[in-house]
Structure 1
Amino acid sequence: MESMFRPPKPLSLDGNVAENWKLFEQKFDNFLTVTELSKKDEETKVAVFLNLIGDDGLELFNTFDLTNNQKKSLQCVKQRFEAHCSPKKNVIFERFVFNSITQKEGQLFDSFLTELRKAVKSTGYKDKDDMVRDRIVMGIFSKDTQEKLLRVSDLTLEMTINHCRAYEVSKTQSKALQSEVSVNELRRKNKYGKKESNFTCKYCGTNHMKGKCPAYGKKCKKCQRLHHFATVCQSKGNKEARDDKKKNVHEVAQEEGSESEGDQFFVSAVSKQIGVVNKMEKSVGESM
């Protein structure tokens, strides 16, 4: 039957020895009960105790100044371990430690509550629940929660714990929802932002996001109007100016062409006149 139940681990004399001893003693007593070893004689129970306490615990036991009868009494043996592992504490200092505990940023409320419940055990306070309740209200990290707790006149420890847990859960859920909204918004921007960046703007002639036109507020160097560049200027006056310029160039070309034809006509007429004169002179010479 004893093999059905797990015995306690050996006593550790490192770290918080007082807490280690309390846990070992509690587990040992439970083990004696479930295995029915508690019905055995005292000498047998001491033997089981020394067998389970481990090498360090056994060496410590050998340093105790006990009589043979005391060594056979489980109660006497446990009292000597208690005196060694849990020496008398300074109650004032223990209360100072308890009343200095505050919830750290990012610390879960249940972790804060466990820390208070452990520390209050050595303070000697009669009403430990009230002390833990007060310490929660004074040491809670969230000032909003503290303000709400102070509004309750008949606040109990159970009410305090339930309120703090509910606030922590709601805060976690709110962060999760906000994070999901932010992710969806970022996805939407990435999805539509790429499409918007592919269109060619008629005001600047470049590709850009909607509302990010570099020509906004700039003055056109051709028509002197705002919000577009001269390279894409579509004003009527500017178009007419370009048409007039083309027309003037065409007319100048025509005038230059006319002057060339006039010159050619004048030269042709003079040549004809010279030919007539030469013909007349030839006729007169033959008649003489």
Structure 2
Amino acid sequence: MDRLKPPTELQFTGNVSENWRRFKLAYDIYEVAAKIDKEDQKVCAFNFLHVAGPAVHGVYKTFVFEQEGDDAKLGKICQQFESYCNPRKNITYERHVFFTRNTREGEEIDAYVTDLKTKAATCEFSTLQDSLIRDRIIGGIRNVHLRERLLREKDPTLEKCEEFCRASEASSMQLKELGETQGSSKSIHGIKNKQVSTKKIQKDLVRKGKQTSQRKDLNVNKRPRGPASLTWFFRSSDRRSG
């Protein structure tokens, strides 16, 4: 357990609010898994600062705590970072991002639902959160037939909606695999039929060649032989010249 890898250091570039949320979640898991939460509160606090990285130390020094000793309490330190990383939370914007989130090309339903739940967590939807996530799934999926199927359901729960989407995704993949298998079979049959047709043509050509050769032999055999052949030759010449 001592070798458990700590989370990545907290970064103050880009989306600082999201960086803090991710780091805090990762650290909470790490703290319990490494049994650091069993240590003295001062050890817990400074272990947090150590794992968070050098960039955090300068910010930490600027904090003003209400009571003496709060600067060595993890809970109080995290409250300060919460305020620092989320100074101007815009609920309207957060909800706009949520309500305009549609599935992307090739995105699996589980990844889409997970991202919706993450975005909903900052929207303060309260008791409406699950129903709004469900509505966003129905409105954001790319499969029109699946959307129609869900709209026909009478007030489906979020869990039911997720089940329908997973089942549809699985069946689409299975149909695609079956189509590829059938396409391969048709290609093989086409090649075989082409080979058969080629062989048939070759046989027909050989047969016709033999028949032509036999007719020529018959014509040759019909020609008179001996002295009569000269008479036959001149008569044939007269017919051609005439």
Percent identity of paired positions between Structure 1 and Structure 2: 28
Residue in structure 1 matched with residue 239 of structure 2 by the alignment: none
CA distance in 1, matches of 2:111, 2:46: 38
After superposition, the Cα gap between the structure-2 partners of 1:254 and 1:128, relative to the gap in structure 1 and judged at 3 Å, is closer
Distance 1:255 1:99, change over 3 A: closer
The correspondence of residues 117-156 of structure 1 with structure 2, limited to 5 A, is: 117-126=117-126, 127-156=128-157
The size of the alignment, in residue pairs, is 221
2:24 matches 1:25: yes
Aligned counterparts of 2:160 and 2:64: Cα–Cα separation in 1: 51
Gaps of at least 5 residues in structure 1 are 207-230, 258-288
Taking the TM superposition and a 5 Å limit, the aligned residue runs for 1:1-288 are 3=2, 5-66=4-65, 69-126=69-126, 127-200=128-201, 253-254=231-232
| 1:250-277 Cα deviation digits (max 9, x unpaired) | 99935969xxxxxxxxxxxxxxxxxxxx
Q: Deviations over 1:41-87 (max 9, x none)?
A: 44333222222211122232234345764423322221221112223
Give the gaps of 5 or more residues in structure 2.
236-242
Match of 1:172, as an amino acid?
M
Q: Residues of 1 paired with 2:202 and 2:183: CA distance? A: 30
Aligned-residue Cα RMSD (Å) equals: 3.3
Deviates more, 1:194-203 or 1:11-20: 194-203
Distance 1:36-1:166 versus aligned 2 partners, 3 A rule: closer
C-alpha change, 1:202 and 1:47, in structure 2 (3 Å) is closer
- The aligned counterpart of 1:227 is none
- Counterparts of 1:189 and 1:79, CA distance in 2: 71
Q: 1:251 to 1:134 in 2, by over 3 A?
A: same
Q: For the structure 1 residues 59 and 110, does the alpha-carbon distance in structure 2 shift closer, same or farther, using more than 3 Å as the test?
A: same
Query: RCO (CA 8 Å, sep 6+): is it higher in 1 or 2?
Result: 2
Q: What is the identity, as a one-letter code, of the residue corresponding to 2:22?
A: L
Instruction: Kindly state the Cα deviation for residue 24 of structure 1 after the two structures are TM-superposed.
Output: 2.5
Cα displacement string for residues 95-149 of structure 1 (whole angstroms, at most 9, x for unaligned residues): 1111111112322111211121111111111221100100111111000000100
* Letter of the structure 1 residue corresponding to residue 138 of structure 2: V
Question: Structure 1 residues 185 and 37, CA, compared in 2 at 3 Å: closer, same or farther?
Answer: closer
Whole-Å Cα distance in 2 between the matches of residues 256 and 181 of structure 1? 70
Are residues 255 and 98 of structure 1, via their aligned partners in 2, closer, same or farther at CA, if it must alter by over 3 Å? Answer: closer
Alpha-carbon separation, structure 1, partners of 2:231 and 2:55:
118
Pick closer, same or farther for the CA change 1:254–1:35 going to 2, 3 Å: closer
Larger radius of gyration: 1
In 2 relative to 1, CA 251–148 (structure 1 residues): closer, same or farther, beyond 3 Å? same
**C-alpha distance 178-255 of structure 1, shift in aligned 2 (>3 A):** closer
Where 1:200 maps in the other structure, the secondary structure is helix
TM-score (norm 2): 0.76
Q: Which amino acid aligns with 1:16?
A: N
How has the CA–CA distance of structure 1 residues 186 and 30 changed in structure 2, closer, same or farther, with 3 Å as cutoff? closer
Task: With the length of structure 1 as denominator, give the TM-score of the two structures.
Answer: 0.65
Per mean C-alpha deviation after superposition, the further-off stretch among 32-41 and 95-104 is 32-41
CA offset digits 1:175-199 (Å, max 9, x no partner): 1011001011101211231231233
Higher helix share: 2
